[in-house]
Chain A
Amino acid sequence: MTADTVVGTGLVRHGGRKFSDYLIFNTDHKVIGIQYLVLAFVFFLFGGALAGLIRAQLATPDAQLLTGSSYNVTLTLHGTVMIFLWIIPAFVGAANYVVPLMIGANDMAFPRLNAVSFWLLVPGGLLMLVSFAVGGAESGWTAYPPLSVTTPIGQTLWALALQFIGFSSIFGAINFLVTIFNLRAPGMGLTQMPLLAWAVAATSIIILLGTPVLSGALLMLILQRWLGAQFFTPAGGGNPLLWQNLFWFYSHPAVYIMILPGFGIISEVLPIFARKPIFGYKLIAFSSMAIAVFGFLVWAHHMFTSGMDPFLRVPFMVTSMIIAVPTGVKIFSWLATIWAGKLRFTTSMMFGLAFISMFVIGGLSGIFLASVPIDIHVQDTYFVVAHLHYVLFGGSVMSIFAGLYLWFPKITGRMLDERLGRLHFWLTFMGFNLTFFPQHLAGLQGMPRRVYTYPPELWALNLLSSIGAFLMAIAVLPFLYNALRSLVAGKVAGPNPWRAFGLEWTVSSPPPVHNFPTPPVVEGDPYGYGERPLPGTTGVAAPAPGMAGGE
């Protein structure tokens, strides 16, 4: 038996060489990574279709496409699906595929638990779809009581779906932490790890300590809906702020669950395509950990208008602003990384650069929002919608695509077409800004979020948004076509098409079933561009021949 043999033939297998290997309980981290990515992408399309419905309804001030109630269901499912079934699992999928390879491990620490994590996501996703079909989950992804305890049965299914997804996340986090701490190849100290591994470790700590709090809150929500326990309803003496506190204790850190892996991906993309070592390795690594810690101290900035004790506002404003510091440290480190580099404008790099600029816009509007007077003014307006989409789409989704374009050759053994990639990028980038930039202005003019009609004066801004959303929908087509065509007809990638450092590039593409036929050799940090030769070559690491040039 060689290192490249699939183990098992029944419903439990290890390794992926045939299509059917991807449809069963497979314990290979690479198969599980692909399972996550494909499932997440399907939900991205579903969540995108819901966004399309929202933008179609809002294209004119008084459209009758949706009713108030079906509009509520649509926006609730759009938010929940995009967060819990696209961004988070897409990052988990990418990390599942590359992190063990990056640290020189043959698999995750607990391969079976890894498969369980993925398969918990499936009932979670199905329950979410059923909740959409039966209706009732109308209270937004934040599910504030009392609305969330009076809505029909769909809301219960929604809560159960989140429980499944939460368990999936928690088991995944345990697996990543043990893998990153224990399975590093000999010679790879913590500070020789790729920064993605640091980012995933920080993310896992947040999941480990934050997600169970959401599980507890959801348990109380379900008990209230099933048994009539009065936790959250003032009419029964309960406390609606209890839900808000527990929910945001998880969900603010959760925004870092949704961005830290993106920070990690960008820290891989920039050095490869700037041909320079990463600037400030330790600063980037430690700032991820700082974000993980500070992320737990800011949650009440979501509740400035919820009737919390006013004197608590200032401390939460201060902590919310402090968290911009480690984030700023990263931004400047990335800028210093590309400064005076030999930039190669591949699609991956363009998404990476777009990530930085778009995320900075979202980050800055985040600092506006942390400020109590501004927050009180724009609470629950489209300014907040614009802000969160600049960080979640302009940040997270851009980084997911940067990572997909970077690792597609490793995962499939084939190159993606760069011209189609650029088309995908520019349509996405323009569509994104056209959709969300006007929402800042609509929000400042007082347009409330989560309302299905609006005054005619706001029509122009909303029409721009809807046109942008249409562009973003079109943008998916060249990507889908590119991915499917490249799978069969793409140029053969070889082990290291980007001439990159990092252990994942020392094995074949796709890697053997058991990753490393011979134990990997670690030579210092994975960012030695311009400083030392690539493994197996002489002379310092030069760009790949024929790489799309930018000089």
Chain B
Amino acid sequence: MSDTTPHLTMQQSAPSATGLDSAKLGMWLFLATEVMLFSAMIAGFLDMRGRSPADAHHVLNIPVTAVNTFVLICSSLTVALSVAAIEQGDQKRLRNFLLLTLLFGGTFLSVQIYEYNVLIGSGELTPWNSLFGAGFFAVTGLHGFHVFIGLIWCVLTIIWTSQGKFSAQNFMRVEIFGLYWHFVDVVWIILFVLIYLV
């Protein structure tokens, strides 16, 4: 072993008895855990909603959030395009699409913070003044936190890209970031339907 830190690097090419990449398998398992976490939070939200007046969600600004949802879906598209770019070894397009992802994701989070400010500032909906608010802020806040983590991860991926760490043969980290990002988007689509539309 000539590398002085053989175990301190991400093991992308570890031997695999199943043929699945370890890092990718690990990410899928992590997403399984995330599904259960959001299931618990959604169960909590639905319970609280069921105990609230039927029109509790009318204080929400549906048009703005609909546009915001579209923005987040766009970010999923740009992540998919960034993975496609590096599959062909195009580092510049990878970086550009990641920057776009950062822009869309950042916009989404900013609009969510704006929405919180309006709701809490006006006192129309807070975590403490209604059960619907409790469920709403818990589940959308947890999702927002996931977007925030995703943005940090996106910045890191951009830095790795500019350091030339990825190529057409080696882009597992981009794919894994993509898996996370798509997951966070899918969760939002479910939340948007459940909270804002139904």
Mark A residues whose CB is within 8 Å of B. Answer: 1, 7-8, 12, 14, 27-28, 107, 109-113, 170, 173-175, 177-178, 181-184, 186, 188, 208-213, 215-217, 219-220, 223-224, 227-231, 236-239, 242, 245-246, 249, 514
Q: Mark B4-41, 1 if CB is under 8 A from A, else 0.
A: 11111001001111101011011001101110111111
Contact of B26 among A7, A109, A514 (CB under 8 A): A109
A-B contact pairs, 20 of them (CB 8 A): A7-B6, A14-B5, A110-B22, A111-B8, A111-B11, A170-B33, A173-B29, A177-B25, A182-B22, A183-B16, A183-B17, A213-B36, A215-B37, A220-B138, A227-B127, A229-B128, A229-B138, A231-B138, A237-B52, A249-B40
Query: Given that A223-B138, A227-B128, A228-B127 are known contacts, is A216 also in contact with B16, CB under 8 Å in the complex?
Result: no
Mark B residues whose CB is within 8 Å of A. Answer: 1-2, 4-8, 11, 14-18, 20, 22-23, 25-26, 29-30, 32-34, 36-41, 43-44, 47-48, 51-52, 127-128, 131, 133-135, 137-138, 142
**In the bound complex, CA of A210 to CA of B17 (Å):** 27
Contact of A230 among B11, B40, B134 (CB under 8 A): B134
Chain A residue nearest to B4 in the complex (CB): A7
Contact B4 A216 (CB under 8 A): no
Contact A14 B8 (CB under 8 A): yes
**Shortest Cβ distance from A210 into chain B, in angstroms?**
7
Which residues from A are CB-within-8-Å of B15? 182-183
Query: Given that A110-B11, A110-B22 are known contacts, is A212 also in contact with B33, CB under 8 Å in the complex?
Result: yes
Contact B36 A210 (CB under 8 A): yes
Contact B44 A242 (CB under 8 A): yes
Contact of B5 among A8, A184, A213 (CB under 8 A): A8
Contact A184 B17 (CB under 8 A): yes
**In the bound complex, CA of A20 to CA of B81 (Å):** 48
Which residues from B are CB-within-8-Å of A230? 128, 131, 134
Contact A181 B131 (CB under 8 A): no
**Shortest Cβ distance from A540 into chain B, in angstroms?**
29
Which residues from B are CB-within-8-Å of A220? 41, 44, 134, 138
**In the bound complex, CA of A512 to CA of B25 (Å):** 28
Which residues from B are CB-within-8-Å of A216? 37-41, 44
Chain A residue nearest to B43 in the complex (CB): A246
Which residues from B are CB-within-8-Å of A188? 17
Contact A181 B138 (CB under 8 A): no
Contact A208 B29 (CB under 8 A): yes
Contact A213 B37 (CB under 8 A): yes
Contact B22 A178 (CB under 8 A): yes
**In the bound complex, CA of A211 to CA of B137 (Å):** 22
Which residues from A are CB-within-8-Å of B16? 182-183
**Shortest Cβ distance from B27 into chain A, in angstroms?**
9
Which residues from B are CB-within-8-Å of A183? 14-17, 22
Which residues from B are CB-within-8-Å of A170? 30, 33
**Shortest Cβ distance from A187 into chain B, in angstroms?**
10
Query: Given that A174-B30, A208-B32 are known contacts, is A181 also in contact with B14, CB under 8 Å in the complex?
Result: no
**Shortest Cβ distance from A405 into chain B, in angstroms?**
30
**In the bound complex, CA of A455 to CA of B18 (Å):** 61
**In the bound complex, CA of A12 to CA of B48 (Å):** 46
Query: Given that A208-B29, A229-B137, A239-B51 are known contacts, is A111 also in contact with B44, CB under 8 Å in the complex?
Result: no
Contact A212 B40 (CB under 8 A): yes
Query: Given that A219-B138, A231-B134 are known contacts, is A178 also in contact with B26, CB under 8 Å in the complex?
Result: yes
Contact A246 B40 (CB under 8 A): yes
**Shortest Cβ distance from A162 into chain B, in angstroms?**
14
Query: Given that A182-B17, A183-B14, A210-B36 are known contacts, is A107 also in contact with B134, CB under 8 Å in the complex?
Result: no
Q: Across chains A and B, which 4 residue pairs bring their CB atoms closest together, nearest first?
A: A216-B40, A229-B134, A212-B37, A228-B128
**Shortest Cβ distance from A99 into chain B, in angstroms?**
14
Contact of A174 among B5, B7, B29, B131 (CB under 8 A): B29
Query: Given that A216-B44, A230-B131, A237-B51 are known contacts, is A181 also in contact with B36, CB under 8 Å in the complex?
Result: no
**In the bound complex, CA of A90 to CA of B6 (Å):** 28
**In the bound complex, CA of A174 to CA of B6 (Å):** 21
**Shortest Cβ distance from B3 into chain A, in angstroms?**
9
**In the bound complex, CA of A184 to CA of B20 (Å):** 13
The winner among B1, B5, B33, B34 for most chain A CB atoms within 10 A is: B33
**In the bound complex, CA of A228 to CA of B41 (Å):** 17
Contact A109 B11 (CB under 8 A): yes
**In the bound complex, CA of A177 to CA of B31 (Å):** 14
**In the bound complex, CA of A223 to CA of B131 (Å):** 12
**Shortest Cβ distance from B149 into chain A, in angstroms?**
13
Contact A111 B7 (CB under 8 A): yes
**Shortest Cβ distance from A385 into chain B, in angstroms?**
28
Contact A238 B131 (CB under 8 A): yes
**Shortest Cβ distance from B168 into chain A, in angstroms?**
24
Contact B14 A211 (CB under 8 A): no
Which residues from A are CB-within-8-Å of B128? 227-230
**Shortest Cβ distance from B190 into chain A, in angstroms?**
15
Contact B20 A181 (CB under 8 A): yes
**In the bound complex, CA of A339 to CA of B110 (Å):** 68
